[in-house]
């Protein structure tokens, strides 16, 4: 019994650093690309307070986040590649689709990765065919209420990231 416990403990220790690795790789690939806007906000910056972030509402959840990453592009070639890479990241993963919305001008999808009752990752994807794509990745230890507050505010027309 103790051998199984050690095995799973070692396995967890090996796999834990890989959590979020796909998003980091995606961000690294596109963040310096031409015609791509990118933002990375670290935990120390998040701890300074939500008043520093005007493009995305984080509210009191800033204290619970480790990082925020954002990629945005209007380049049709980059949109296609980035969309394909995001799809391949989400397909085999443990992400659960929270919501999918198709509007007349844009579509949105929201995904979470959670451990028991704690949401560790929130992905927000907004796109318009090959014309526009915005990818937001929040990583930390959020409650369902934190995520609800973030998602409710993101839907307002006054809060659009371009």
Which tens digit of pLDDT belongs to each residue from 22-67?
577 899 999 999 999 999 989 988 888 766 665 566 777 778 899 9
**3-state secondary structure labels for all residues of 84-140:** HHHHHHHCCCCCEEEEEEECCCCEEEEEEEEECCEEEEEEEEEEECCCEEEEEEEEE
Half-sphere exposure of 131 (CA within 13 A, CB side): 5
In three-state secondary structure terms, 58 is coil
Question: pLDDT value at position 19?
Answer: 43
Q: What are the residue ranges in the chain where pLDDT is below 50? A: 3-21, 156-162
Token pair 């993101």 in the structure block, residue:
154
* C-alpha angle 50-147-65 in degrees, rounded to nearest 5: 50
- Which tokens go with 14? 């090996």
Question: pLDDT value at position 160?
Answer: 41
């Amino acid at each position: 019994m103790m051998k199984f416990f050690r095995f799973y403990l070692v396995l967890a220790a090996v796999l834990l650093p890989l959590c979020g690795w796909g998003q980091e790789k995606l961000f690294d690939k596109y963040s310096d690309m031409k015609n791509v806007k990118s933002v990375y906000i670290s935990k120390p910056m998040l701890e300074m307070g939500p008043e520093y972030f005007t493009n995305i509402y984080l509210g009191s959840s800033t204290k619970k986040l480790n990082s925020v990453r954002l990629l945005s592009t209007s380049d049709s070639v980059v949109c296609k590649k980035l969309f394909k890479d995001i799809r391949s990241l989400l397909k085999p993963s443990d992400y659960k689709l929270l919501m999918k919305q198709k509007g007349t001008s844009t579509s949105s999808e929201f995904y979470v990765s959670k451990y028991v009752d704690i949401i560790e990752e929130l992905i927000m994807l907004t796109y318009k065919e090959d014309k526009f794509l915005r990818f937001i990745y929040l990583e930390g230890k959020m409650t369902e209420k934190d995520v609800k507050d973030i998602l409710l505010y993101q839907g307002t027309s006054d809060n659009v990231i371009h």
